[in-house]
């Protein structure tokens, strides 16, 4: 963690004088943290995944404000704080720091649309924070009230129905680097916070189950979307609901598996789609995927993982749900995932058009390759493990 803080400071200072140096220092700090990091439990393994996503997004990033790298390192530092802190209030402070930085990731790059999305995200985020704070305040008086407020607060921050309306806008309108951090790390961190400190209660059971199922079906609005980033953002909603549900049931190992699957595949898909959108614009009708062959191949892999194609991480994640949930909930979740194949196919179709590599474009091959290798490796490990 020291490497992250020091790296953040050095990035901030060097960023004032040189353009490319903060990126190198950020990557170096992240690699150093990775080497020095020794995971002890599944929550630590989740942080390992976040570090890898962080390295990938640093390799991928280009034309970002100079504040991006120090804030990313600070963001990961606060994520680490959320995970290791045993006291709820201290953990909440780290969560708030991470949330404040994530508002910047939405706003990064400017523009009216981003400002509007950031404001929506900020409102829902702060409502969530307020509810969590009330819950913490009431914790020592009434555990049921704590449970209710705490759960509602985490639902608002994670984008669980009925607080889902901000998430597709925020994740889609942010720059690709921001979308990766938001979808690949931020929402998962909130689920981990919820996993650590939530208390089970029969009343909250119904609230969480119904909200998660509603979120899964709410995400099917993606049927009518023609913007690939918005489809991926709705896919985040679809995937976050089982993670949130498993967090409520304290199934730590399953939450880790889902975070591994979702972080890696969603980050890879946002990175690939970022390059594609940069060239063709944000409509599926204009995309000619063959012109960016490597991004298309990686995007096909990530979408197949998200669809739960056999022997990918997505497949084993869905398998793991059967150890925990009852049949009725399983049928509804599986149904929502199968229905979402329709929007995914729209993206896959757009990748079939065009001529191969008409002009040379930097597709950030190594950033995507890193996530691709982790995705494949994860699939093989699960195949042997299961």
Partner 1 sequence: MNSWIFPLISTIFSLFIPVNLLSDLSITLAFLSFLFSQNYFEIVVSMISFIVFIYSKDYIRKNLRRYWFFMNLFLFSMLLFIKSKNLLISLLCWEITSFCSWGLISFDFLNPKARKEARKAFLIVSIADSFLFLSIFLLFMKGGSWSFEIFQKMDDITSLLFLIGIIGKGSIFPFYWLKNAMIAPSTVSALLHSSTMVKIGLIFLFKVFCFLTPTTKKISYYIGVLSCTVLSFLSLFERNYKKFFAYSTAIHLSILLILVGNPFFFKIHFLSHALFKSYFFLLYPLVRRKNMYKAKFPKTLWTMFPLINFLGIPPSPIFISKSFLPLFAKVLVYLYSFKFFVIFLTREKVDVRIKNFMKTSLISLSILSIYPFLFFKFEPSEIVPLLIAFPISFFFRKEIKFKFEFKFKVFIRRIWVGKKSTVIFGVMICLLLLLDLLFVK
Binding residues for partner 1 (CB under 8 A)? 223, 308-311, 318-319, 321-323, 327, 330-331, 334-335, 337-339, 341-342, 345-346, 349, 352-353, 383, 386
Q: How far is the CB of 326 from partner 1 (least distance, A)?
A: 11
Short-list 185, 186, 233, CA closest to 53: 185
Comparing CB distances to partner 1, the nearer of 63 and 326 is: 326
Query: Residue 162: is the preceding peptide bond cis (ω within 30°)?
Result: yes
Q: Which is nearer to partner 1, 26 or 333 (CB)?
A: 333
- Smallest separation, CB 361 to partner 1 (Å): 22
**Closest distance between partner 1 and the C-beta of residue 318, in Å?**
7
Residues 56, 41 contacting (CB under 8 angstroms) = no
Q: Which is nearer to partner 1, 193 or 337 (CB)?
A: 337
Q: What angle do CA 212, 299, 290 make, to 5 degrees?
A: 145
Return the exposure string of 279-303: e unless at least 16 CB atoms fall within 10 Å of the residue's CB, then b: ebebebeebbbebbebbbbbbbbbb
> What is the distance between the alpha carbons of residues 245 and 353, in angstroms, rounded to a whole number?
39
Instruction: Pick the closer one to partner 1 by CB: 9 or 331.
Output: 331
Least distance to partner 1 from the beta carbon of 225, Å?
14
Do 239 and 185 touch, CB atoms closer than 8 A?
no
Tell me how far, at minimum, the Cβ of 368 lies from partner 1, in Å.
20
Nearer to partner 1, 20 or 356 (CB): 356
Instruction: Provide the 10 A C-beta neighbour count for residue 61.
Output: 23
Nearer to partner 1, 342 or 366 (CB): 342
Distance CA 292, CA 59 (A): 18
Q: Tell me 324's DSSP state.
A: T
Q: Is 326 left (phi over 0), alpha (psi -120 to 50) or beta?
A: beta
Closest distance of CB 8 from partner 1, Å: 43
Short-list 91, 92, 114, 88, CA closest to 103: 114
Contact assessment for residue 348 and residue 231, using Cβ atoms and an 8 Å cutoff: no
Least separation in angstroms between CB 196 and partner 1: 27
Least distance from C-beta 163 to partner 1, angstroms? 26
Please say which residue, 140 or 386, places its beta carbon nearer to partner 1.
Answer: 386
State the minimum distance, in angstroms, from the CB of residue 165 to partner 1: 21
Nearer to partner 1, 106 or 321 (CB): 321
Nearest Cα residue to 170 out of 22, 50, 178: 178
Task: Say which residues have a Cβ less than 8 Å from residue 249's Cβ, sequence separation at least 6.
Answer: 200, 324
Query: Which CB, 30 or 325, lies closer to partner 1?
Result: 325
Give whichever of 366 and 380 is closer to partner 1, judged by the CB atom: 380
Backbone dihedral region of 85: left (phi > 0), alpha (psi from -120 to 50 degrees) or beta? Answer: beta
Q: How far is the CB of 247 from partner 1 (least distance, A)?
A: 21
Distances, alpha carbon 351 to alpha carbons 273, 355, 372, in Å: 10, 11, 18
């Amino acid at each position: 963690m020291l490497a992250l803080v020091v790296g953040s400071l050095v990035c901030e200072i060097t960023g004032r004088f040189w353009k490319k140096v903060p990126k190198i220092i950020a990557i170096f700090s992240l690699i150093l943290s990775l080497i020095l990091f020794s995971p002890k439990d599944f929550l630590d393994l989740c942080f390992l995944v976040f570090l890898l996503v962080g390295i990938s997004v640093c390799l991928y990033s280009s034309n970002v404000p100079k504040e991006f790298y120090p804030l990313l390192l600070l963001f990961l530092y606060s994520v680490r704080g959320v995970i290791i802190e045993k006291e709820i209030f201290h953990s909440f402070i780290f969560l708030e720091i991470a949330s404040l930085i994530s508002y910047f990731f939405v706003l990064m790059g400017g523009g009216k649309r981003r400002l509007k999305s950031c404001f929506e995200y900020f409102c829902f985020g702060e409502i969530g924070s307020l509810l969590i704070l009330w819950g913490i305040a009431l914790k020592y008086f009434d555990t049921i009230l704590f449970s209710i407020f705490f759960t509602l607060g985490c639902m608002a921050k994670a984008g669980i129905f009925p607080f889902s309306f901000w998430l597709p806008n925020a994740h889609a309108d942010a720059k690709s680097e921001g979308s990766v951090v938001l979808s690949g790390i931020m929402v998962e961190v909130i689920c981990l916070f919820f996993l650590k400190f939530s208390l089970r209660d029969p009343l909250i059971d119904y609230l969480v189950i119904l909200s998660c199922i509603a979120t899964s079906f709410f995400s099917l609005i993606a049927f009518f979307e023609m913007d690939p980033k918005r489809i991926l953002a709705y896919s985040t909603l679809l995937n976050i609901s089982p993670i949130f549900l498993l967090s409520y049931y304290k199934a730590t190992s399953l939450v880790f598996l889902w975070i591994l699957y979702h972080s890696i595949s969603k980050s890879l898909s946002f990175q690939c789609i970022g390059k594609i959108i940069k060239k063709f614009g944000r409509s599926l009708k204009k995309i000619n995927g063959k012109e960016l062959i490597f991004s298309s191949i990686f995007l096909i892999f990530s979408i197949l993982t998200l669809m739960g194609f056999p022997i990918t991480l997505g497949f084993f994640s869905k398998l793991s749900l059967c150890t925990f949930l009852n049949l009725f909930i399983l049928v509804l979740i599986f149904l929502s995932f199968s229905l979402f194949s329709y929007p995914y196919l729209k993206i896959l179709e757009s990748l079939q058009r065009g001529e191969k590599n008409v002009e040379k474009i930097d597709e950030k091959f190594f950033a995507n390759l890193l996530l691709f290798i982790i995705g494949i490796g994860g699939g093989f490990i699960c195949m042997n493990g299961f």
